């Protein structure tokens, strides 16, 4: 069997996302990635280095997906609604399958304990905020979002709202609760 670094990285990302960094053992990673210990260390150096690469991959995927979604929507408000309602989809899953957002999970788990990881989390949030600011400006230009709102502040508000949604969904919120939270958030933009 040929070693596929992308497949190994994807497998590790799934384990970290499902279990968190601290709860993931080296053996969990070796099993998921189908690697020996020596191959693991040769390819990735350490658990932390692998985690940082997984965080980078996650950020890139989310950024690409959101950029494509914004380009397809052509409406800032519709884009924001779609992003916020993505939590409603997760709320339909059994509680044990609700993973939330890897960036937000990592921030909650231990970003303040490690400057390098905190920087990755902050960069991830800033990338998401940048896309949300663009959506707010697009919505303002179309008259969908109040022109009086500062786009940067609105972007920060939306990051906080999204983080809250991901947290309450992981905690057991149902789809109706998510939709109610999203409706309030959207009203705040108008």
Residues 6+ apart with CB under 8 A from 93: none
pLDDT of 108: 86
Confidence of residue 153 (pLDDT cuts 50, 70, 90): very high
Angle at 59 between CA 184 and CA 1, to 5 degrees: 135
pLDDT of 2: 66
* Domain 55-189, second-level architecture: Orthogonal Bundle (1.10)
- Cα dist from 190 to 88, 89, 150, 180, whole Å: 22, 24, 12, 16
Average pLDDT over residues 131-157: 97
pLDDT of 53: 96
| Per-residue pLDDT at 156 exceeds 60 | yes
E strand or H helix at 43? helix 37-44
Average pLDDT over residues 176-184: 94
Average pLDDT over residues 44-57: 95
3-20 tens-digit pLDDT: 788 999 999 999 999 999
Alpha-carbon torsion 117, 123, 64, 90, what sign? positive
CA atoms of 67 and 89, how far apart (whole Å): 20
| Per-residue pLDDT at 128 exceeds 90 | yes
Phi, psi of 131 (to 5 degrees): -65, -40
pLDDT of 27: 97
Average pLDDT over residues 18-40: 94
Confidence of residue 111 (pLDDT cuts 50, 70, 90): low
pLDDT of 113: 86
Q: DSSP code of 175?
A: H
55-66 tens-digit pLDDT: 999 999 999 999
| Per-residue pLDDT at 151 exceeds 60 | yes
| Per-residue pLDDT at 1 exceeds 70 | no
């Amino acid at each position: 069997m040929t070693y596929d670094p992308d497949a190994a990285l994807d497998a590790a990302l799934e384990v970290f996302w499902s279990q968190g960094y601290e709860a993931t053992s080296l053996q969990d990673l070796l099993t998921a990635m189908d690697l020996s210990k020596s191959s693991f260390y040769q390819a990735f150096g350490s658990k932390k280095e692998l985690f940082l690469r997984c965080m980078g991959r996650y950020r890139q995927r989310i950024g690409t997906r959101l950029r494509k979604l914004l380009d397809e929507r052509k409406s800032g408000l519709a884009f924001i609604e779609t992003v916020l309602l993505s939590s409603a989809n997760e709320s339909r899953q059994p509680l044990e399958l609700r993973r939330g957002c890897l960036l937000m999970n990592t921030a909650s788990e231990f970003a303040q304990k490690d400057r390098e990881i905190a920087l990755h989390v902050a960069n991830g949030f800033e990338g998401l905020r940048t896309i949300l600011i663009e959506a707010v400006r697009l919505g303002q230009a179309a008259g969908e979002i109040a022109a009086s709102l500062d786009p940067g502040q609105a972007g920060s508000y939306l990051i906080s709202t999204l983080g809250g949604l991901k947290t309450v969904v992981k905690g057991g919120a149902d789809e109706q609760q998510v939709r109610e939270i999203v409706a309030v958030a959207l009203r705040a933009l108008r």
